[in-house]
């Protein structure tokens, strides 16, 4: 049972397994089917074991994690989960990534797709149109995105865990925005831009941009905050309010999801077909320095993630110049 598990730092050191996965091996979820603990994962059961409440009206203070050497082992995973939650909320990668790959290397060679010939009936003796898949001519160097939080244990020990979680989630959001920008940078490389019809961006320009993708379907448009504000102010966008109210996503009347990239400069928008445009490569998932958090409590919290991106189908990416 979960109350008999011996918690120790070594659970963070098992190759190929996260802390929660290591806990689950010792305390399988299926043991709790049809019990009051069904629905909790192995980590959440340990929080219950030590009566650590991380949110809600009766949320505990940070010092509750450090009442024993075993409960202190739970703190790094709490930190990692909060940072990961902040990253997930700030990320727009689910709207632009077609495939995800995991690697142990620091470099990666992706695939590129090129198409030749016309997609029409092939006459007898004629050459068939072809699709060619090759390894990318250059290797991608995966990038490490990291942030360090400096704080003394004395400064946070009396604060509610839920309050400290807000800081950790914001830290994760900062990292995620840098990852977003790296993805955008890869999409821009080698992509030519389409100019607006007149001096300023109009709804007609958006429709023309959508149609420019030809055989691909534009599913997503990445915009700067200022350009997104211009688009939302178009008279035609008022018909999309109900979609936003139900899904939380902003879409054009023809179904393109608009996402805001705060670091994208304000004279371009990027349109993609998320089903075939971009591959994301994970070198590591979110890593937190667990040893320092346990042995020195939390004088310094360092977290990082190593990722890279590869453009799979170049003609599934288009750029619109939002100013003439």
- Tens of pLDDT, residues 230-278: 898 999 888 887 777 667 788 888 889 999 998 887 789 999 999 999 9
pLDDT reported for residue 149: 86
Q: Please state the pTM of the whole predicted model.
A: 0.86
pLDDT reported for residue 293: 72
CB 81 within 8 A of CB 285: no
196-204: Cβ within 8 A, 24+ apart: 196/320, 196/321, 196/322, 196/323, 196/324, 198/324, 199/324, 200/323, 200/324, 201/227, 201/230, 201/231, 201/322, 201/323, 202/234, 203/234, 203/235, 203/236, 203/237
In this prediction, the residues of the chain whose per-residue pLDDT falls under 70 are 119-120, 125, 245-246, 292, 294-299, 324
pLDDT reported for residue 196: 86
Using alpha carbons only, how large is the chain's radius of gyration in Å? 24
User: What SS3 state is found at 202?
Assistant: coil
pLDDT reported for residue 241: 74
Give the whole-angstrom CA distance, residue 183 versus residue 69: 41
Contacts of 66 (CB under 8 A, 6+ apart): 72, 75, 153, 157, 297
pLDDT reported for residue 125: 67
Structure tokens at 100: 């995800």
pLDDT reported for residue 49: 95
Which candidate, 184, 186, 138, places its Cα nearest to that of 311? Answer: 186
Mean pLDDT of the chain: 88
């Amino acid at each position: 049972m979960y109350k008999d598990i011996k918690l120790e730092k070594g659970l963070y050191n098992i190759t190929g397994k996260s802390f929660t996965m290591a806990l689950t091996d010792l305390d399988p979820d299926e043991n709790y089917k049809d019990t009051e603990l069904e629905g909790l994962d192995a980590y959440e059961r340990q929080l219950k074991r030590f009566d650590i409440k991380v949110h809600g009206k009766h949320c505990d203070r940070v010092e509750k994690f450090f009442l024993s050497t075993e409960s202190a082992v739970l703190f790094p995973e709490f930190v990692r989960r909060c940072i990961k939650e902040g990253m997930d909320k700030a990320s727009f990668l689910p709207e632009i990534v077609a495939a995800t790959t995991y690697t142990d290397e620091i470099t990666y060679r992706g695939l590129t797709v090129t198409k030749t010939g016309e997609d029409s009936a092939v006459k007898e003796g004629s050459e068939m149109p072809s699709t060619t898949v090759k390894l990318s001519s250059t290797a991608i160097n995966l990038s490490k995105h990291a942030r360090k939080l400096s704080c003394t244990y004395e400064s946070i020990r009396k604060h509610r865990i839920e309050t400290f979680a807000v800081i950790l989630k914001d830290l994760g959001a900062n990292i995620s925005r840098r990852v977003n920008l790296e993805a955008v940078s890869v999409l821009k490389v080698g992509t030519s831009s389409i100019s607006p019809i007149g001096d300023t961006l109009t709804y007609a320009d958006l429709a023309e941009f959508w149609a420019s993708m030809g055989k691909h379907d534009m599913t997503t448009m990445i915009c700067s905050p200022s350009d997104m504000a211009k688009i939302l102010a178009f008279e035609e966008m008022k018909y999309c309010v109900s979609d936003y109210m139900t899904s939380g996503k902003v879409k054009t009347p023809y179904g393109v999801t608009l996402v805001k990239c705060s670091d994208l400069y304000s004279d371009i928008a990027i349109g993609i077909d998320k089903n075939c445009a971009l591959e994301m490569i994970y070198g590591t998932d979110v890593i937190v320095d667990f040893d320092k958090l346990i042995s020195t409590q939390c004088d310094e919290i360092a977290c990082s993630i190593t990722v890279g991106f590869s453009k799979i189908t170049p003609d599934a990416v288009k750029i619109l110049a939002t100013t003439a």
